[in-house]
Amino acid sequence: MNQTSVDDFTGTILSAWYAAASQWSPPGDDVGPCVGCARSPLADVLDIRDYPHDIIHSLAMPLVAAVGHVGISLAEEHVAPDSPTARQLVAASLVGRSEEIVDVLENCVRYRIDRYVTFELERTLLEFG
């Protein structure tokens, strides 16, 4: 499996996630990253603690699965031991798309969080005003 194939594979995962992120709504899950997310290739590319866990988890876990699938493919192809690992290939693919990922997180997720916080503050001020 070459980098272009991995890029196509992660591109499919990202496209599905972009659609899901566009539908995400706050408040989200703010428990912090789980072990799976912290060990995912996504954590190599951006600070996953900056965003709600649920939206990060919904991307990190398919990427972890992608590492497994790429690893199987590499093993079936009997790739040389000094070749990049499955995780390195997936992470490299994400690096090339990191601006897109951050753009979605900032414009879909962060924007909605900011609106939600403003609404909740205004509601609280009116209620206890």
Domain enclosing residue 118, as ranges: 3-128
Query: Taking residues 3-22, what's their average pLDDT?
Result: 95
| Residues, the chain | 129
CA angle at 98 for the pair 48 and 4, rounded to the nearest 5°: 125
pTM: 0.85
Query: Taking residues 9-28, what's their average pLDDT?
Result: 91
User: What pLDDT is recorded for position 129?
Assistant: 61
How many domains does one find in the chain? Answer: 1
Please name the residues in contact with 45: beta carbons below 8 A apart, sequence gap of 6 or more. 91, 94, 95, 98, 101
pLDDT band at 53 (very low <50, low <70, confident <90, very high): very high
Query: In the predicted model, is pLDDT for residue 29 greater than 70?
Result: no
